[in-house]
Amino acid sequence: MTSLLQYESGFALASNETRLEPSYRIDLRSFSEKEYNKFVKLNSVKDWSLLSWKDIGKPYEVTSIAREKKEWEDTHETNLPANVSWQMFNKSFHEWFVKDVPAEMNESKRKFMQSLKKFDFHESKSALGEMVRIHLWNYAHRVEDGIWDPRGKRALFEGLDLIKPRILFLGAAEGYEAMQLSAIYPGGDIVFVDYDPFCKDTRFADFPESYPFLGINPSTGSNKVYHKDDFASEYIVEDIRKLPFSQEFDIVLSVGLLEHFPDSLKSEVVEWHRKFLKPGGYIIMTTPRAQLKSKLYYEIMADVMNHTYRELMTVEQMGLYLYENGLEILRHGFIKVHNGIIARPR
């Protein structure tokens, strides 16, 4: 029997279906074992001890920076502190997640046409930039669903030896990936950590309660849909470096954290994950991929995204950082726009 779910726009959604909401895609499509490799490409490296930086090169550094950061640094004649740059980033990125994208695409087109009629070059250039950004966002987030990528993340995260895991999400922002993990491995709890209060109070608080996470019903083994309020969770606003926990988590997770630190700080970031992990637990990390379309995305969306130091890397580069810092790589691969690694201390 096909189950039906009620969603914001009023139409019921059948299991195994996908639909576009004004701000995002909902996607309950599952994949067969045969289709698995369409959503995640795994395990290109056979022996990490044989890989060297000479073979694979260093990550690509994104050098175009957000206007807001430039203006702050010009005014204060000093570098923007990291925590303030994250506050700017989170506020700016969140504004895009809540846009009514079809309405804004129409509006941006109208403004561009109006500016052309006025023969105003500066207004036309700015209106064209807005139109390009909203169309790119529509493609990246709604059409491709590359940012949340639920099928890719399910493919990357599945098959781990976990029962009712305690999950620690470092730099949790809106918390998406810990909720996806909790749907696949239900019954545990999540501790979200982010030192920007806006993440707890707005990014996570406003994450749509109706968004469906496809996971597993542990009593039957069949698919089950979960929502934000189904997960036992606590959101802590704190610096990762000041957390009071011991080695008590089955999963320590970060998404888009490692690439924001230059090489001199990467071992400290790896240590943040190791420090809170139970023996036998899993470190799960993802970082954006070094691919042409991501390089273009970070150029075009510079004002929205580039408030902090940022690298784009391959999964081989990401894995070598983790391997060199004492981790055993259990699974590595890439999904639509991120690399993903599952590891534990060697």
Ligand X SMILES: C[S@@+](CC[C@H](N)C(=O)[O-])C[C@H]1O[C@@H](n2cnc3c(N)ncnc32)[C@H](O)[C@@H]1O
Query: Minimal distance in Å, beta carbon 160 to ligand X?
Result: 20
CB of 39 to ligand X, least distance (A): 19
Query: Rounded to the nearest whole angstrom, what is the least distance from the CB of residue 124 to ligand X in the complex?
Result: 32
Chain position whose Cβ is nearest to ligand X: 171
What's the closest the beta carbon of residue 175 comes to ligand X, in angstroms?
9
We find the least distance from the C-beta atom of residue 129 to ligand X, in angstroms, to be 22
Q: Of 90 and 233, which CB lies nearer to ligand X in the complex structure?
A: 90
Tokens of 218: 């542990």
Q: Which is nearer to ligand X, 40 or 168 (CB)?
A: 168
C-alpha radius of gyration, the chain, whole number:
21
Q: Which residues pair with 282 in a beta bridge?
A: 251
- If the CB atoms of residues 120 and 239 are measured against ligand X, the closer one turns out to be 239
Q: Which of residues 48 and 93 has its CB atom nearest to ligand X in the complex?
A: 93
Degrees to nearest 5, angle at CA 283 with 281 and 284: 130
d(CA 302, CA 157): 30
Q: What angle do CA 20, 336, 318 make, to 5 degrees?
A: 145
Structure tokens at 305: 């995204």
CB of 155 to ligand X, least distance (A): 18
Closest among 328, 343, 287, 279 to 311, alpha carbons compared: 287
Reported as type and span, the H/E element at residue 283 is: strand 277-288
Instruction: State the residues that interact with ligand X by CB under 6 A.
Output: 86, 90, 93, 171, 173-174, 193-196, 199, 239-241, 255-257
Q: Which is nearer to ligand X, 224 or 289 (CB)?
A: 289
Judged by CB, which is closer to ligand X: 171, or 333? 171
Q: What's the longest Cα–Cα distance across the chain?
A: 66
Give the helix, strand, coil percentages of the chain, each rounded to 5: 40, 20, 35
